[in-house]
Each structure stands twice: as C-alpha cells, then as structure tokens.
Amino acid sequence: MTTKYPSTMSCTEAFDQLSACYSVGGQFRNYYRFGEFNACMKQLEKFKFCILHGTDPLEIQRWYQKQAELNAKQRGSSEDVWQERKSS
C-alpha cells in the first residue's frame, strides 16, 4: 500500500463532521450551495468505518484511496447549480 494516504483516522473527528453535517447550519449551507438537503451519508459511512476499522492502518489507507477515487469520478461543484439557476 502506498504511503500517499493517511494511515490513521480520528473517530472523534469523524463524529464531529457527522454532527456538523446534521446541524441546522450544515443543512442550510448544503441547501444554499447545492439546492438540496444533505443526507450526510459520506460522514456517516466514515464514522461507521472508523468505529469498525479505526485501528487498522492498511484498511484506513484503502478507505482513503477509495474515497479519493470516488471524488475524482464525481467532480462537480456548486457552480453547476448556479449555472442552472441563471439559465432558468
């Protein structure tokens, strides 16, 4: 496994990210940026993963690699929403 990806993960940080996503401010920000509420699935999956595999450095590196690959495939930004709003 390459050392390009982190080999540690903080479950406290993952929980904080999940809590911030579910907060009123987090939901409002997501709705404003992307035009929909966030189900917080990415944050929930990270927290679950951390609870189950948070001490295995190889599994953590694989998880970060998988996330990087998914993010590369799902390129897009809030600008896409604003372009659609402008044309409406």
The per-residue pLDDT for range 11-24, each reduced to its tens digit, is 999 999 999 999 99
- The torsion angles phi and psi of 31, rounded to 5 degrees, stand at -65, -40
Residue 21 domain boundaries: 11-72+79-87
Asked whether residue 4 is assigned to any structural domain, the reply reads no
pLDDT of res. 39: 93
Q: Which residue type does 83 have?
A: Q
Residue, of 72 and 76, whose pLDDT is higher: 72
Residue, of 45 and 1, whose pLDDT is higher: 45
Asked whether residue 50 is assigned to any structural domain, the reply reads yes
Alpha-carbon distance 47 to 15, whole Å?
6
Asked whether residue 1 is assigned to any structural domain, the reply reads no
Q: Is the pTM of this model over 0.85?
A: no
| Domains: count for the chain | 1
Asked whether residue 26 is assigned to any structural domain, the reply reads yes
Residues 61, 69 contacting (CB under 8 angstroms): no
Asked whether residue 15 is assigned to any structural domain, the reply reads yes
8-state DSSP, 5: S
In the structure, what pLDDT confidence band is assigned to residue 46 with cuts at 50, 70 and 90? very high
Asked whether residue 36 is assigned to any structural domain, the reply reads yes
Report the chain's mean pLDDT, rounded to a whole number. 87
